[in-house]
Amino acid sequence: MMMTRVFSGIQPSGNLTIGNYLGAMKNFVRLQHEADCLFCVVDLHAITVPQEPEALRENSRNLAALYIAAGIDPDKATVFIQSHVTAHAELGWILQCIAYYGELGRMTQFKDKSAQKEVVTAGLFTYPALMAADILLYQTGLVPVGEDQKQHLELTRDIAERFNNRFGQTFVVPEPYIPKFGGRIMSLENPEKKMSKSDESAGAYIAMLDEPDVIRKKISRAVTDSDREVRYDPDAKPAVSNLMTIYGMFTDMTMEQVEKHFAGQGYGPFKKELAEVVVDGLSPIQQRYRELIGSSEVDEVLRKGAQKAREMCAGTLADVKSKLGFVLA
């Protein structure tokens, strides 16, 4: 039987947060053992909002190093940069012509990201069509993402079905793979808001590469709820429940176990221990990252990854072009 194909990407749009790690990357590492995985640095997506060129270049390479440092084995999974495989932009354009203006306008991420912005690029609006291309190019069966990407994935499925209905079977219709727990880590400053790497306030997130003392400070300043009970109740106690989720995910403990562990102790000791758990959880990743970033290993992985990805998607792109009626070159 053929192995399930898995595709996912992360934008090199800032410092990766523990939201990206717990919601997405941690699952990538697990899935590489059971599926044929591609993990992409989606730089074409990052430029939907302004990026400083040198920072984008650095963030892209750093993200590739983080993939590997977090446990992705480049001999098992294909790690590459999106702009190295031009088929993404090509199919992205084609799928913009399959997606409808109305359905793109319903995307909540577009509404959130465009709100209160002076300038909104056309790319930010059509982004989900490019994301559909990323996934459909590889006949992906499963897409591990955080909760916030669910709507984009539903659109990807609609686009695939529409194309298949109109032109004949072309794309596998992918399934989302969203963690039941931890799919939406919230900001440390506002538990109503998702933790985001492009948050203007660095206190809102813990970056995967934050120094131990920075992590300790951010957690000690994290907002909590009224009363002082460490109890899991996302509706009544969203801030503490978010911190407990982070604790549980780093320690593989259930919320019940976390509650028991901190019974009668209040927020102070909980936050102190949480900080140490996060510091200890990130420390081996940070160490491996520091070794990698100065070596040429990352560049070699990316070169090989792009080559492999190009080979994997060439057939699908040619099929699409032929079905659309393009004169084949």
152 lies in the site for ligand AQP, by CB under 6 A: no
Is 76 one of the annotated active-site residues of the chain? no
Closer residue to ligand AQP (CB): 10 or 69: 10
Residue 76 neighbours by CB distance under 10 Å: 14
Smallest gap from residue 172 Cβ to ligand AQP (A)? 19
Among 15, 19, 70, 262, binds ligand AQP (CB under 6 A): 19
Closer residue to ligand AQP (CB): 23 or 128: 23
Closer residue to ligand AQP (CB): 188 or 317: 188
Alpha-carbon span 66 to 312, nearest angstrom: 24
Smallest gap from residue 183 Cβ to ligand AQP (A)? 6
Closer residue to ligand AQP (CB): 180 or 296: 180
Is 113 one of the annotated active-site residues of the chain? yes
DSSP string of 112-131, one letter each residue: HHHTT-S---HHHHHHHHHH
3-state secondary structure (DSSP) of residue 40: strand
198 lies in the site for ligand AQP, by CB under 6 A: yes
CA distances from 149 to 110, 157, 219 (A): 11, 13, 26
Task: Please count the CA atoms within 13 angstroms of the CA of 275 that sit on its side-chain side.
Answer: 18
Among 15, 23, 222, 244, binds ligand AQP (CB under 6 A): 23
For the stretch 218-221, contacts whose Cβ atoms lie closer than 8 Å and that sit 24 or more positions apart, written own/partner, are: 218/188, 219/188, 219/243, 219/271, 219/274, 219/275, 219/278, 220/271, 220/272, 220/275, 221/188
185 lies in the site for ligand AQP, by CB under 6 A: yes
Closer residue to ligand AQP (CB): 243 or 320: 243
Q: Near ligand AQP by CB under 6 A, which window of 74-82, 90-98, 179-187, 256-264? A: 179-187
Among 51, 126, 196, 316, binds ligand AQP (CB under 6 A): 196
Which residue is associated with the tokens 């640095």?
Answer: 41
Residue of 59, 126, 73 lying closest to 305 (CA atoms)? 73
Binding site for ligand AQP (CB under 6 A): 10-11, 13-14, 17, 19-20, 23-24, 145-146, 148-149, 183-185, 194-198
> Annotated catalytic sites, by residue?
113, 194, 197
